[in-house]
A and B are shown apart, each in its own frame.
Chain A
């Protein structure tokens, strides 16, 4: 039995779990290639036009695995934290994929509620049945997978640079370097370090989120909002770059909330979609870094009670 695992969406965060689980069950796994032009083209071809780029990219990954495996994993992630959701498109992802890409092999699309191990195990029982009938094997594979996942650290916090930006956005926009056009490397090359949301404490996130009138019901929104508010308050960074997929519903709300919270702190939104030109991205990043540098020099030269340098806000 060969299980195809598409390298898209939350793969970047949860691949240790899925890989370990299926390997331990005794199945062979195949992961699609890193996102590239032909995967993106496949995705654009099969996916509804209105969807965001990450969903299109995911379609591309599935399509690229079509003839290479016996079953494809399409994680239908319903919940990661209690009383929170991801995005409607994640909940309906298997339907979007199955009804639009012809001739797919079997798909593993049981809903995933990752709020606790017990509920997650419900998924494992269903998904594991495809590979083995042995309950014990499934149980063991599941436990191993959970422990491997728990040990997995993702996140970037570069210490060796003088200046740092908080890099925010949904995990797949941060870690899929094709989609974000290698932003991490580009920033480093300009002498800028990076911190991501994994490096702030859960308690601080909770306390920041608690100050809102309405508790955000998207896990992405909670994490990002809490991260940026903390990073701003604790001066963990000199500015914020927010990578956002064009037409992302969650981001359209979140960006407003973040702007409201951090006031005139340097903040740039990089919108990406399948048509984004690299030249434009480079220009924006360079200009933003220039601005941070000027600001820093200026701040160093004025008394601490001095006024903030006015800087442009929002998307450039």
Chain B
């Protein structure tokens, strides 16, 4: 008996398989590259080598592509990332009080007390400080992203970098490079700037108490972890599956949902062989002119997305709360 979780993010798509006791049996990390359908098919091809359709007793989706993924796989629940992340963290440790989550294009803070979410915030305008931005800087400095954190740890006197806006942070870094600062100090400074920015922006007014979980792709960066610890004055924990927490959460929530309903809607791994075609058209029903995308699986329409009024959006599973 296994539970499947799918997290379709802007940068990566994660698939996770949990066993009955919620241990991670399999994890697959794929780059989304703007093609969520193909990526899910790719993931399913790998999974069906090991699992039978009947073995999957619940499946859930999360991430910005959660609706499309849910239609595709027949998810039992479609959950927002915040709830998914906190569910996964709480499963690992009931005492978590704060979650810092920094992913490909957004960052969040979740405040928990006594095992429930009491407050949260997400970045609003700018993507400075998220994974994509760090990737870009690593590329520009010609340093593999995996080593970025190690460089930061070598910094002796981190340089001060303006970190609010990605564009300005980059020009400020270039400026500092031109002035001849030591590379490690610039990277260290960047990490500090991103953390300062995070705490002043998303973390403003939030009571950050230990234990703090640091999750999302950026948690791999030791420099950022250390900068958080320096700023907060206590240890920040990076959980084992820090980059899979969304998918894990979705799987757990799905398990809980199926316990109530008694059966899963999972459509099976067979979709790996299906042909998916998406066709878009502009709805002429009202002046909103929504661009509606309709998805066909083997020439059969399975779902519509993008309409505000919900007229086309009929084949979605009901998005009930909790």
Q: Are B175 and A44 in contact (CB-based, < 8 A)?
A: no
Q: Are B201 and A277 in contact (CB-based, < 8 A)?
A: no
Task: Determine the distance from Cα of A40 to Cα of B101 in the docked complex, in whole angstroms.
Answer: 27
Task: Determine the distance from Cα of A45 to Cα of B201 in the docked complex, in whole angstroms.
Answer: 9
Q: Are A279 and B165 in contact (CB-based, < 8 A)?
A: no
List 13 extra interface pairs beyond A274-B164, A277-B162, CB under 8 A. A44-B200, A45-B200, A48-B204, A49-B200, A49-B201, A49-B204, A275-B164, A275-B168, A277-B168, A277-B171, A277-B172, A277-B175, A279-B175
- Given the complex, which residues of B lie within 8 Å of A44, measured CB to CB? 200
Q: Are A275 and B201 in contact (CB-based, < 8 A)?
A: no
Task: Determine the distance from Cα of A49 to Cα of B172 in the docked complex, in whole angstroms.
Answer: 21
Interface residues of B in 197-227 (CB under 8 A from A): 200-201, 204-205
Task: Determine the distance from Cα of A3 to Cα of B205 in the docked complex, in whole angstroms.
Answer: 27
Question: Smallest distance from the beta carbon of B133 to chain A beta carbons, Å?
Answer: 15
- Given the complex, which residues of A lie within 8 Å of B165, measured CB to CB? 275
Q: List 17 A-B contacts (CB under 8 A).
A: A44-B200, A45-B200, A48-B204, A49-B200, A49-B201, A49-B204, A100-B205, A274-B164, A275-B164, A275-B165, A275-B168, A277-B162, A277-B168, A277-B171, A277-B172, A277-B175, A279-B175
Which residue of chain B lies nearest to A44 when distances are taken between CB atoms in the complex?
B200
A interface footprint on B145-168 (CB within 8 Å = 1, 0 otherwise): 000000000000000001011001
Question: Smallest distance from the beta carbon of A27 to chain B beta carbons, Å?
Answer: 33
B interface footprint on A97-124 (CB within 8 Å = 1, 0 otherwise): 0001000000000000000000000000
- Given the complex, which residues of A lie within 8 Å of B205, measured CB to CB? 100
Q: Which chain A residues have a beta carbon within 8 Å of chain B's beta carbons?
A: 44-45, 48-49, 100, 274-275, 277, 279
Task: Determine the distance from Cα of A48 to Cα of B200 in the docked complex, in whole angstroms.
Answer: 9
Question: Smallest distance from the beta carbon of B312 to chain A beta carbons, Å?
Answer: 36
Q: Chain A binding site: helix, strand, loop or mixed by DSSP?
A: loop
Total number of residue pairs linking A and B with CB closer than 8 Å: 18
Question: Smallest distance from the beta carbon of B203 to chain A beta carbons, Å?
Answer: 10
A interface footprint on B165-187 (CB within 8 Å = 1, 0 otherwise): 10010011001000000000000
Q: Are B200 and A275 in contact (CB-based, < 8 A)?
A: no
> Number of B interface residues, CB 8 Å?
11
Which residue of chain A lies nearest to B160 when distances are taken between CB atoms in the complex?
A37
Q: Which chain B residues have a beta carbon within 8 Å of chain A's beta carbons?
A: 162, 164-165, 168, 171-172, 175, 200-201, 204-205
Task: Determine the distance from Cα of A313 to Cα of B201 in the docked complex, in whole angstroms.
Answer: 33
Task: Determine the distance from Cα of A265 to Cα of B238 in the docked complex, in whole angstroms.
Answer: 58
- Given the complex, which residues of B lie within 8 Å of A277, measured CB to CB? 162, 168, 171-172, 175
- Given the complex, which residues of B lie within 8 Å of A274, measured CB to CB? 164
Question: Smallest distance from the beta carbon of B179 to chain A beta carbons, Å?
Answer: 10
Task: Determine the distance from Cα of A48 to Cα of B205 in the docked complex, in whole angstroms.
Answer: 9
Question: Smallest distance from the beta carbon of A299 to chain B beta carbons, Å?
Answer: 35
Question: Smallest distance from the beta carbon of A53 to chain B beta carbons, Å?
Answer: 12
Task: Determine the distance from Cα of A197 to Cα of B257 in the docked complex, in whole angstroms.
Answer: 67
- Given the complex, which residues of A lie within 8 Å of B204, measured CB to CB? 48-49
Question: Smallest distance from the beta carbon of B210 to chain A beta carbons, Å?
Answer: 20
Q: Are B162 and A275 in contact (CB-based, < 8 A)?
A: yes
- Given the complex, which residues of B lie within 8 Å of A279, measured CB to CB? 175
- Given the complex, which residues of A lie within 8 Å of B171, measured CB to CB? 277
- Given the complex, which residues of B lie within 8 Å of A49, measured CB to CB? 200-201, 204
- Given the complex, which residues of A lie within 8 Å of B164, measured CB to CB? 274-275
Task: Determine the distance from Cα of A34 to Cα of B171 in the docked complex, in whole angstroms.
Answer: 28
Question: Smallest distance from the beta carbon of A210 to chain B beta carbons, Å?
Answer: 40
- Given the complex, which residues of A lie within 8 Å of B172, measured CB to CB? 277
Which residue of chain B lies nearest to A47 when distances are taken between CB atoms in the complex?
B204
- Given the complex, which residues of A lie within 8 Å of B201, measured CB to CB? 49
Question: Smallest distance from the beta carbon of A232 to chain B beta carbons, Å?
Answer: 33
Question: Smallest distance from the beta carbon of A281 to chain B beta carbons, Å?
Answer: 13
Task: Determine the distance from Cα of A48 to Cα of B201 in the docked complex, in whole angstroms.
Answer: 9
Which residue of chain A lies nearest to B124 when distances are taken between CB atoms in the complex?
A49
Which residue of chain A lies nearest to B162 when distances are taken between CB atoms in the complex?
A275
**8 nearest CB pairs, A to B:** A275-B162, A275-B164, A44-B200, A49-B201, A275-B168, A49-B204, A45-B200, A277-B172
Task: Determine the distance from Cα of A44 to Cα of B163 in the docked complex, in whole angstroms.
Answer: 13
Task: Determine the distance from Cα of A45 to Cα of B162 in the docked complex, in whole angstroms.
Answer: 15
Which residue of chain B lies nearest to A45 when distances are taken between CB atoms in the complex?
B200
Task: Determine the distance from Cα of A100 to Cα of B165 in the docked complex, in whole angstroms.
Answer: 24
Question: Smallest distance from the beta carbon of A47 to chain B beta carbons, Å?
Answer: 9
- Given the complex, which residues of A lie within 8 Å of B175, measured CB to CB? 277, 279
Task: Determine the distance from Cα of A48 to Cα of B124 in the docked complex, in whole angstroms.
Answer: 14
Task: Determine the distance from Cα of A274 to Cα of B201 in the docked complex, in whole angstroms.
Answer: 13
- Given the complex, which residues of B lie within 8 Å of A48, measured CB to CB? 204
Which residue of chain B lies nearest to A50 when distances are taken between CB atoms in the complex?
B124
Task: Determine the distance from Cα of A277 to Cα of B164 in the docked complex, in whole angstroms.
Answer: 12
Question: Smallest distance from the beta carbon of B114 to chain A beta carbons, Å?
Answer: 24
Question: Smallest distance from the beta carbon of B34 to chain A beta carbons, Å?
Answer: 31
Task: Determine the distance from Cα of A275 to Cα of B175 in the docked complex, in whole angstroms.
Answer: 14
Task: Determine the distance from Cα of A277 to Cα of B160 in the docked complex, in whole angstroms.
Answer: 12
Which residue of chain A lies nearest to B200 when distances are taken between CB atoms in the complex?
A44
Question: Smallest distance from the beta carbon of A101 to chain B beta carbons, Å?
Answer: 11
Task: Determine the distance from Cα of A100 to Cα of B205 in the docked complex, in whole angstroms.
Answer: 8
Question: Smallest distance from the beta carbon of A125 to chain B beta carbons, Å?
Answer: 35
- Given the complex, which residues of B lie within 8 Å of A275, measured CB to CB? 162, 164-165, 168
Question: Smallest distance from the beta carbon of A124 to chain B beta carbons, Å?
Answer: 35
Task: Determine the distance from Cα of A96 to Cα of B162 in the docked complex, in whole angstroms.
Answer: 25
**Interface-central residue, B165, B175, B204, by most chain A CB under 10 Å:** B204
Question: Smallest distance from the beta carbon of A48 to chain B beta carbons, Å?
Answer: 7
- Given the complex, which residues of A lie within 8 Å of B162, measured CB to CB? 275, 277
Question: Smallest distance from the beta carbon of A38 to chain B beta carbons, Å?
Answer: 12
Task: Determine the distance from Cα of A55 to Cα of B96 in the docked complex, in whole angstroms.
Answer: 35
Question: Smallest distance from the beta carbon of A104 to chain B beta carbons, Å?
Answer: 16
Task: Determine the distance from Cα of A274 to Cα of B196 in the docked complex, in whole angstroms.
Answer: 13
Task: Determine the distance from Cα of A260 to Cα of B175 in the docked complex, in whole angstroms.
Answer: 37
